[in-house]
């Protein structure tokens, strides 16, 4: 018999079903996902890694303004989308490109923000993916609202709300967990703890035993998982989604992972951390370990390898083809979409710019 308090606290150690050598471990509360799920997940990981590396390359080639890579965090990215049903919602941040693409959003539309020809390039209602949030934690209360609306409408929607370790210091993180708890809204708050908020390490964000421990303060069950173990993440996040859908209220999941690259290409990580801190994390790579497990279990067929390789090659080619040409921009867009009906002042300003451009051309 566990007490209410114990039910809210996370596991003593992050849940890990497959260790970094690819060895399987039994867990009393979580089952290994189905073989096919792991195989599909493997393909998604390979694709996700390629998106990250291709996008970073496109920054170097001047085709993207910036790219906050989730290289090394792909297991979190892929798992967050894989556990959702079609009608569910994903609330991503700027580092969650791979998760958004995994959910089925067009990769070029996803990267519009970072290419810079508009803010959010995809239709949020097409795949139920909110615009990527750049301000930290502000999207979490939106997630609560979307989930609450779904409940009022009698829908069994679950909302997956993503944020990083730095964002847990923001007031909106607190407000979102508290609101979700009070209203018992079906939100899974998924914190990718990658140890860094740009240059500031986790130890300067919080001295709590873990981020998952913060759940108990709100009456929200917290759980933590090895963020580089896709199997463990699918099990933990899947169970959190099931609980939220079953009416058990919001869930908090923390993934322990690591930002192996700099914050973005514009950042210099050598100013705040040593290489010997990064090296062990390279050994914990999410792809390596799943590959090792699938190989040892005889689940990695040549067909799967080929499918993974082709999927990755295709998405990279798609990104290059889509992002190499200079995007067309329309100055009229500046004034569209501020209001359903533009104000007289905006109509005037649009005319002013149109006139100015016409004079420049003549």
Partner 1 sequence: MTHVKLTMAQALNQALRDAMKADDSVLMFGEDVGPLGGVFRITDGLTAEFGEDRCFDTPLAESGIVGMAVGLAMNGMRPVVEMQFDAFGYPAFEQIVSHVAKMRNRTRGRVALPMVIRMPYAGGIGGVEHHCDSSESYYAHTPGLTVVAPSTVADAYTLLRRAIEWPDPVVFMEPKKLYWAKEEVDLTEDVPGIGKAVVRREGADATLIAYGPSVPIAMEAAEVAAAEGRQLTVVDLRSVVPFDDETVCAAVRRTGRAVVVAEASGFASVSSEIVARVTERCFHSLAAPVRRVTGFDIPYPPPKLEKYQLPGVDRILDAVDDLQWEDS
Q: Are 75 and 274 in contact (CB under 8 A)?
A: no
Stretch that binds partner 1, among 198-206, 287-295, 298-306, 333-341 (CB under 8 A): 333-341
Q: Does 84 engage in binding with partner 1 (CB under 8 A)?
A: no
CA 232, 234, 240, 244: dihedral to nearest 10 degrees? Answer: -170
Size of the site for partner 1 (CB under 8 A): 40
Q: Minimum distance from CB of 203 to partner 1 (Å)? A: 26
Structure tokens of 181?
């708890």
Of positions 62, 345, 358, 361, contacts partner 1 by CB under 8 A = 345
Choices 203-211, 229-237, 261-269, 332-340 (CB under 8 A): range interacting with partner 1:
332-340
- Site for partner 1 contains 152 (CB under 8 A): yes
Q: How many angstroms separate the CA atoms of 305 and 297, rounded?
A: 15
Does position 330 bind partner 1 by CB under 8 A? no
Structure tokens at 102: 């995994």
Q: Do 76 and 192 contact (CB within 8 A), yes or no?
A: yes
Nearest-approach distance from CB 337 to partner 1, in angstroms: 4
- State which of positions 180-199 bind partner 1 (CB under 8 A): 182
Long-range contacts of 319-328 (CB under 8 A, 24+ apart): 319/51, 319/54, 319/55, 319/58, 319/107, 319/108, 319/111, 320/54, 320/58, 322/107, 322/108, 323/58, 323/63, 323/64, 323/108, 323/111, 323/115, 324/61, 324/63, 327/115, 327/117, 328/117
Q: How far is residue 148's CA from residue 142's CA, in Å, rounded to a whole number? A: 10
Which residues 119-148 are close enough to bind partner 1 by CB under 8 A? Answer: 119-120, 123-125, 130-131, 135, 138, 140-148
CB of 178 to partner 1, least distance (A): 5
Dihedral (C-alpha) 187, 188, 189, 191: value to the nearest 10 degrees? -160
Task: Kindly tell me which of 181 and 191 has the beta carbon lying closer to partner 1.
Answer: 181
Q: Which two tokens stand for residue 106?
A: 């067009």
Cα separations in angstroms, 222 against 81, 216, 226? 19, 7, 14
179 binds partner 1 (CB under 8 A): yes
Q: Which of 246, 324, 338, 357 binds partner 1 (CB under 8 A)?
A: 338
- Distance in Å, CB of 278 to partner 1, minimum: 33
CB-count burial class (<10 Å; 0-12, 13-18, 19+) for 292: middle
Least Å distance, CB 353 to partner 1, is: 15
Q: Which is nearer to partner 1, 174 or 305 (CB)?
A: 174
> What is the C-alpha R_g of the chain?
21
Q: Which of 65, 85, 149, 208 binds partner 1 (CB under 8 A)?
A: 149
**Minimum CB–partner distance for residue 9 and partner 1 (Å):** 22
Does the footprint of partner 1 cover residue 86 (CB under 8 A)?
no
Residue 97 near partner 1 by CB under 8 A: no
Which residue ranges make up the site for partner 1 (CB under 8 A)? 118-120, 123-125, 130-131, 135, 138, 140-150, 152-153, 171-172, 175-176, 178-179, 182, 333, 336-341, 343-345
């Amino acid at each position: 018999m566990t007490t209410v308090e114990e039910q809210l606290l996370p596991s003593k150690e992050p849940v890990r079903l497959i260790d970094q050598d690819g060895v399987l471990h039994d867990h009393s509360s979580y089952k290994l996902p189905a073989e096919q799920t792991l195989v599909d997940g493997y393909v998604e990981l390979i694709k996700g890694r390629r998106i990250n590396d291709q996008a970073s390359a496109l920054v170097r080639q001047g085709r993207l303004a910036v790219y906050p890579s989730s290289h090394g965090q792909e297991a979190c990215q892929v798992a967050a989308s894989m556990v959702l049903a079609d009608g569910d919602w994903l609330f991503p941040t700027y580092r969650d490109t791979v998760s958004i693409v995994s959910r089925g959003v067009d990769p070029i539309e996803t990267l519009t923000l970072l290419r810079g020809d508009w803010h959010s390039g995809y239709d949020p209602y097409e795949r139920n993916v909110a615009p990527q949030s750049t301000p930290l934690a502000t999207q979490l209360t939106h997630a609560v609202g979307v989930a609450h609306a779904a409940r009022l409408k009698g829908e069994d929607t679950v909302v997956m709300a993503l944020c990083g370790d730095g964002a847990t210091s923001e007031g909106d993180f607190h407000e979102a967990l508290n609101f979700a708890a009070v209203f018992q809204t079906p939100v899974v708050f998924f914190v990718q703890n990658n140890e860094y908020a740009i240059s500031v390490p986790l130890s300067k964000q919080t001295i709590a035993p873990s981020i998952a421990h913060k759940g108990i303060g709100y009456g929200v069950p917290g759980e933590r998982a090895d963020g580089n173990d896709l199997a463990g993440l699918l099990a933990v996040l899947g169970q959190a989604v099931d609980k939220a859908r079953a009416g058990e209220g919001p869930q908090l999941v923390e993934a322990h992972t690591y930002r192996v690259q700099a914050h973005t290409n514009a950042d210099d990580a050598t100013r705040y951390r040593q290489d010997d801190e990064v090296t062990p994390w390279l050994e914990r790579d999410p792809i390596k370990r799943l590959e090792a497990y699938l190989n040892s279990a005889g689940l990695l067929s040549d067909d799967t390898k080929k499918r993974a390789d082709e999927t990755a090659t295709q998405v990279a080619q798609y990104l290059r083809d889509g992002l190499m040409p200079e995007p067309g921009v329309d100055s009229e867009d500046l004034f569209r979409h501020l209001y359903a009906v533009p104000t007289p002042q905006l109509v005037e300003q649009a005319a002013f710019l149109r006139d100015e451009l016409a004079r420049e051309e003549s």
